[in-house]
């Protein structure tokens, strides 16, 4: 398994922890998870960037997820699926170094690993709608970043 995959898995563990400990500081929660899970060197930097990025933009990410998941209120989405969606949407919006298809595929795989049988398909459906919407917005505004 590659370093980026392991970094995303660590990020999901931290984001999931933060779902239950909303008062925790993300950086402190990150260190706590790393210390308790004995994380190998080399994955912390990318993982921490992802966690902190999601936390900075969490309201925007949730708003976009909420708009896209028409029949699912955020409260009804499984917390692990919600964490995976936040991470993937953050990557789609703010990480130009990651191809969108990679972010979507990684999220689907994470859903299959950490979620339920239906998580992969659910995550794929939401992210596909968001990606399609972002592409249409980008085409209407011309070349540049997808944001």
Helices 79-94 and 100-114 meet at what angle, rounded to 10?
170
Q: Hey, where are the domains in the chain?
A: 3-141
Give residue-wise pLDDT tens across range 61-100: 999 999 998 777 888 899 999 999 999 999 999 999 999 9
DSSP code, position 74:
G
Q: What percentage of the chain has pLDDT greater than the value 70?
A: 93
Q: In this prediction, what percent of the chain has a pLDDT beyond 90?
A: 71
* Distance between CA atoms of residues 35 and 27, nearest Å: 12
Tokens standing for residue 2? 């590659």
- Determine if the pTM surpasses 0.75: yes
Select from 3.40.50.2300, 3.40.50.300, 3.90.580.10, 1.10.940.10 the CATH code of 3-141.
Answer: 1.10.940.10
């Amino acid at each position: 398994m590659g370093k980026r995959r392991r970094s995303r898995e660590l990020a999901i563990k931290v984001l999931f922890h933060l779902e239950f400990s909303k008062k925790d500081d993300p950086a402190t929660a990150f260190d706590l998870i790393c210390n308790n899970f004995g994380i190998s060197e080399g994955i912390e930097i990318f993982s921490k960037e992802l966690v902190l990025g999601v936390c900075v933009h969490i309201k925007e990410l949730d708003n976009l997820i909420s708009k896209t998941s028409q029949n699912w209120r955020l409260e009804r989405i499984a917390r692990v699926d919600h964490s995976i969606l936040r991470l993937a949407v953050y990557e789609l919006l703010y990480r130009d170094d990651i191809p969108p298809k990679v972010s979507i595929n990684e999220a689907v795989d994470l859903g299959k690993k950490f979620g339920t049988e239906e998580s992969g398909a659910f995550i794929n459906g939401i992210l596909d709608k968001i990606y399609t919407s972002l592409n249409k917005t980008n085409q209407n505004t011309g070349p540049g970043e997808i944001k």
